[in-house]
Structure 1
Amino acid sequence: MVDCIVEKRKLIIETWGKIKVKVVRPLALRWCLIVYPWTQRYFGTFGDLNRAAAIMGNKTVAKRGITVLNGFRKALYIKNAYAKLSVLHSEKLHVDPDNFRLLGDCLTVVLASQMRRGFTPDVQAAWQKFLTVVISALGRQYN
């Protein structure tokens, strides 16, 4: 697993502090469901997900997006925070582990769009490394 060094971790924590969490948290999942429509199959009970406008206005998707991104936040502070989530996603929900990477990609785009000039190459590199660690932890049970 990739090691997050102190400088990169500091950039990630600083970035998290600068973003508009009420916007970013639901937006990353919404974009993931729109850009990668096959990920919608895990959200069959969430109502209408057939159009981008329906996804963007879906309060259940927004609420789940907040929950998911709060899970990312846990990784900033807790080692092995994803052990139980990995088991849940692999054994109960049967989520394709590649979906974690897709969501990470969408989160990166959302962060860049929200932070604009503040999303420097150093910040992006730190986030990419951080997301690699999170994705690896979530996918651990699949290996």
Structure 2
Amino acid sequence: RMFSTYPQTKTYFPHFDLHHGSEQIRGHGKKVVAGALVEAANHIDDIASALSKLSDLHAQKLRVDPVNFKLLGQCFLVVVAIHHPSLLTPEVHASLDKFLCAVGNVLTAKYR
């Protein structure tokens, strides 16, 4: 969803097969969800420490535009809404949005 909605984000993945359903896209998606987001959720009281190395990587080595973390959070919410509409109550939506914003804030903190 991210690459089709925001094609400018493809520039960070020139070595990937960017076609829908590619193994590289699926693999990276798993790293984001099963890796970073689960790590953040498991350390909800200290997301900054849990994602410190990932923040360094994105800010200093990969130099990802910080706005992309907000875009990814929005895409994540849309995907949840499409695939699990009954689960995305207003309360869950607000909580998930707050969590994704917190993760995005941590990942952009080292840009300053």
Q: Normalised by the size of structure 2, how large is the TM-score?
A: 0.91
Q: Structure 1 counterpart of 2:75, which letter?
A: C
Q: Quick check: 1:82 aligned with 2:51?
A: yes
Give ranges in structure 2 of 5+ residues lacking alignment.
Answer: none
Tell me which residue corresponds to 2:33.
Answer: 69
Q: Partners in 2 of 1:132 and 1:60 — Cα distance?
A: 26
Higher relative contact order (CA 8 A, sep 6+): 1
Tell me which residue corresponds to 1:33.
Answer: 3
Regions of 4+ moved over 4 Å:
none
1:100-138 residue CA offsets vs partner (Å, 9 max, x unmatched): 110100000011111112210000000011011100011
CA displacement at 1:37 relative to structure 2 = 0.3
Q: Partners in 1 of 2:87 and 2:42 — Cα distance?
A: 23
Q: CA RMSD in A?
A: 0.9
Tell me which residue corresponds to 2:22.
Answer: 58
Matches for 1:1-143 after TM superposition, within 5 Å: 31-47=1-17, 49=18, 54=19, 56-70=20-34, 71-78=36-43, 79=46, 80-143=49-112
1:35-58 residue CA offsets vs partner (Å, 9 max, x unmatched): 0000000100003x3xxxx2x131
Q: Normalised by the size of structure 1, how large is the TM-score?
A: 0.72
Is the partner of 1:116 in helix, strand or coil? coil
Tell me which residue corresponds to 1:13.
Answer: none
Q: Partners in 2 of 1:117 and 1:82 — Cα distance?
A: 30
Q: Structure 2 counterpart of 1:32, which letter?
A: M
